[in-house]
């Protein structure tokens, strides 16, 4: 079976939870090659096995080089190992004994976080959906990770019906809380991963941005709390040794380093004997239910 047919089959099992991004009506897989709604809006399955649901190209500034670095860091280093373990555990607990459930990674990039979190649950009866506005990222995700569904779509217009998702992950990425609340089941979980003050402190230091993060983090956390009822909040801190090559990838993928001087990046890369700090907050929320 081709990647495209494989994906068509997978999507078919969950198509009742999807909706057309244009008219919001039900959508279904037709001829193993496209998604079609009753108003005849049609979206082709790409040969890599993803569907582009945007009717115009996005202006995402994330390119292939960045996603390649991101994949290197997420899959070949231990930088996010603690995070992946924790998320796997939380999600497995929540979905225990259930089937046909959707785990959505909102802002999935090239897909490695979703794969790492669900990879150990291969026999799972539930499905992962990765959504990102970057076609480049989604294409890479679909090219490698065949057991999840991948869509190019806008987080402000998720192609999912109301209350269709059991768990939403949103890892170090922008969110759309109105949409998250719409698609989340009544007892669904939204898991947001936010950087804490020490996150990549060694990189921040060479960039002279050491104090910026604490303030941003506070804003993100309080906004999350306005929208969701917090059920748990977990802080994860770790220190990881990265090779020069891995440090170069880290500087490539981290938005905070995009406008840095080459000299500063070199300085960071050369400090290979120092560990890099991972300092994250995992916010776990549920919908605030109105009576």
Rule CB under 5 A: choose which of 41, 47, 135, 227 binds Zn ion. Answer: 41
Task: Pick the stretch among 18-26, 53-61, 103-111, 209-217 that binds Zn ion (CB under 5 A).
Answer: 18-26
Smallest gap, in angstroms, from Cβ of residue 22 to Zn ion? 4
237 and 279 in contact (C-beta within 8 Å)? yes
Per the CB < 8 A criterion, the answer to whether 103 and 77 are in contact is: no
Q: Please give the structure tokens belonging to residue 218.
A: 């506070």
CA gap 125, 117 in Å, rounded: 15
Kindly tell me which residue out of 7, 10, 37, 91 binds Zn ion, with binding defined by CB under 5 A.
37
Q: Are 43 and 53 in contact (CB under 8 A)?
A: yes
CB burial of residue 242 (10 Å; 0-12, 13-18, 19+):
buried
177 is in an annotated binding site: no
110 appears as a binding residue in the annotation: yes
Instruction: Consult the annotation and say whether 20 binds a ligand.
Output: yes
Residue nearest to Zn ion (CB): 20
Q: Which of 2, 13, 16, 39 binds Zn ion (CB under 5 A)?
A: 39
161 in contact with Zn ion (CB under 5 A): no
Closer to Zn ion by Cβ: residue 18 or 190: 18
CA-CA distance, 199 to 207, in Å (whole number)?
Answer: 13
**CA distance linking residue 177 with residue 114, whole number of Å:** 20
The footprint of Zn ion on this chain (CB under 5 A) covers a number of residues equal to: 6
Of residues 2 and 39, the one with the C-beta less far from Zn ion: 39
When binding is defined by CB under 5 A, the residue of 23, 30, 42, 230 that contacts Zn ion is 23
Query: Which residues, other chains included, contact 219 with Cβ-Cβ below 8 Å and sequence gap of 6+?
Result: none
Q: Indicate the annotated binding residues for S-adenosyl-L-methionine.
A: 80, 110-111, 199
Binding site for Zn ion (CB under 5 A): 20, 22-23, 37, 39, 41
């Amino acid at each position: 079976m081709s990647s495209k047919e494989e994906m068509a089959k997978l999507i078919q099992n969950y198509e009742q939870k999807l909706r057309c991004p244009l008219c919001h009506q039900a959508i279904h897989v037709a001829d193993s090659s496209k998604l079609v709604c009753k108003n005849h809006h049609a979206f082709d399955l790409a040969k890599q096995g993803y569907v582009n649901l945007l009717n115009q190209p996005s202006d995402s500034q994330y390119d292939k080089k960045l996603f390649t670095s991101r994949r290197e860091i997420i899959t070949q280093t231990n930088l996010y190992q603690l995070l992946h373990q924790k998320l796997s555990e939380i999600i497995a607990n929540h979905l225990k004994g259930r089937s046909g459930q959707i785990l959505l990674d909102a802002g999935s990039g090239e897909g490695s976080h979703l794969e790492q979190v669900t990879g150990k649950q291969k026999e799972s009866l539930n499905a992962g959906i990765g959504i990102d506005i970057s076609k480049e990222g989604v294409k890479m995700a679909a090219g490698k990770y065949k057991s999840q569904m991948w869509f190019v779509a806008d987080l402000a217009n998720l192609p999912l019906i109301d209350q269709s998702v059991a768990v939403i992950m949103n890892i170090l990425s922008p969110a759309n809380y109105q949409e998250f609340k719409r698609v989340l089941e009544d007892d669904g979980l939204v898991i947001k991963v936010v950087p804490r003050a020490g996150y990549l402190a060694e990189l921040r230091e060479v960039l002279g941005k050491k104090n910026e993060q604490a303030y941003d983090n506070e804003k993100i956390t309080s906004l999350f709390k306005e929208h969701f009822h917090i059920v748990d909040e977990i802080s994860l801190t770790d220190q990881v040794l990265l090779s020069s090559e891995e440090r170069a990838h880290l500087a490539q993928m981290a938005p905070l380093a995009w406008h840095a001087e080459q000299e500063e990046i070199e300085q960071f890369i050369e400090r290979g004997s120092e560990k890099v700090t991972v300092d994250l907050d995992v916010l776990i929320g549920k919908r605030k239910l109105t009576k």
